[in-house]
């Protein structure tokens, strides 16, 4: 974990983009994000997290970052999954705000401008995928998983799987990340006494690459993880320093 600041500290908002074998989407990511940055509500950079890709994603990310001064990357030694990639992104981010989007291009970076104003009143703002373009079976799995998670966590979030979120970086860094915990980000912010807001965002069909999710990690994995969250919720330490003479 990087403890000293890096170039992201020169920006107000950092977009983390976890990437695992998405070579066919890199060019579209570059076009969308490079067009969004000048339109962002804040001075914004992008941090790509190459999560051990075995295709040409890594070299294409390097080339893309060479072309754009606001594009940065870190590379994982091996594939660790979305929660590991997000933790690495949070650890290496030093802007005031941080958000993330998937590399599958099923959400639109422009919609960050719908979420960011919410940070004036909340510590965490998540998108809700309006008019989802996934298959009936995939939507059904998601609906079941979201309903069960809401019942177990009480987070009140209707679509925790939406890959478009923004939050305060200091809250993100305090999230206890384990495998599968990316599904519980709103609940983990609530543990810190933060406030959560939900806003509808656009959703598109995947036109390149392949989904990394299947029945196990949409339903069975989250079912087990809910019990881990409930164990954690009872034991979570939340403290606030009111005075210090440290310099």
**Residue 1 falls within a domain, yes or no?**
no
What CATH number does residue 31 fall under? 3.90.550.10
Least confident of 46-50, 67-71, 137-141: 137-141
Least confident of 35-49, 159-173, 212-226, 231-245: 212-226
212 near 104, Cβ under 8 Å? no
**Residue 198 falls within a domain, yes or no?**
yes
Q: How far is CA 7 from CA 12, 17, 31, in A?
A: 11, 16, 22
Q: Identify the CA nearest to 112 among candidates 159, 50, 171, 42.
A: 42
**Residue 246 falls within a domain, yes or no?**
no
Beta-bridged to residue 73, according to DSSP, are 48
> What is the chain's alpha carbon radius of gyration, rounded to the nearest angstrom?
17
Q: Lay out the sheet containing 44-50: strands in order across.
A: 71-75, 44-50, 13-19, 97-101, 164-168, 124-129, 196-201
Average pLDDT over residues 195-215: 74
**Residue 247 falls within a domain, yes or no?**
no
Please, is 120 exposed, middle or buried when counting C-beta atoms within 10 Å of its C-beta (0-12, 13-18, 19+)? exposed
- Total tally of structural domains belonging to the chain: 1
Specify the pLDDT at position 214: 47
**Residue 241 falls within a domain, yes or no?**
no
Of residues 134 and 101, more confidently modeled: 101
Specify the pLDDT at position 153: 59
The pair of three-digit structure tokens given for residue 150, joined into one six-digit string = 């809401």
User: C-alpha angle with apex 214: 82 to 159, nearest 5 degrees?
Assistant: 65
Domain that holds residue 152: 7-235
Arithmetic mean of pLDDT over the chain: 84
Q: What's the pLDDT tens digit per position in 128-181?
A: 887 765 555 455 556 656 555 555 555 667 677 788 999 999 999 998 877 777
Of residues 234 and 125, more confidently modeled: 125
Quick one: what percent of the chain has pLDDT higher than 90?
A: 54
**Residue 240 falls within a domain, yes or no?**
no
Q: Please tell me the distance from the alpha carbon of residue 204 to that of residue 32, in angstroms, as a whole number.
A: 14
Specify the pLDDT at position 149: 56
Q: Tell me the residue ranges of DSSP E strands in 80-220.
A: 97-101, 124-129, 164-168, 196-201
185 near 124, Cβ under 8 Å? yes
For the ranges 36-45, 148-157, 160-169, 210-219, the one whose mean pLDDT is highest: 36-45
Specify the pLDDT at position 154: 58
């Amino acid at each position: 974990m990087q403890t000293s600041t890096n170039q992201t500290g020169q920006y107000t908002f950092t977009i983390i983009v976890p990437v695992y074998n998405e070579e066919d989407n890199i060019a579209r990511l570059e076009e969308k994000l490079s067009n969004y940055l000048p339109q962002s509500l804040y001075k914004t950079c992008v941090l790509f997290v190459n999560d051990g890709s075995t295709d040409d994603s890594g070299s294409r990310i390097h080339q893309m970052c060479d072309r754009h001064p606001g594009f940065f990357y870190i590379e994982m030694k091996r594939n660790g999954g979305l929660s590991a990639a997000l933790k690495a992104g949070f650890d290496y981010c030093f802007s005031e705000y941080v958000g993330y989007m998937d590399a599958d291009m099923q959400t639109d970076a422009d919609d960050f401008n719908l979420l960011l104003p919410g940070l004036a009143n909340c510590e965490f703002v998540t998108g809700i995928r309006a008019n989802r373009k996934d298959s009936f079976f995939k939507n059904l799995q998601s609906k079941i998983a979201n309903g069960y998670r809401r019942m177990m966590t009480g987070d009140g979030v209707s679509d925790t799987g939406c890959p478009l979120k923004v939050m305060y970086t200091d809250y993100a860094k305090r999230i206890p990340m384990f495998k599968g915990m990316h599904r519980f980000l709103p609940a983990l912010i609530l543990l810190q006494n933060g406030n959560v807001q939900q806003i509808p965002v656009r959703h598109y069909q995947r036109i390149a690459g392949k989904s990394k999710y299947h029945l196990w990690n949409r339903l069975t994995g989250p079912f087990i993880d809910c019990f881990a969250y409930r164990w954690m919720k009872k034991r979570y330490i939340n403290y606030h320093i009111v005075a210090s003479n440290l310099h």
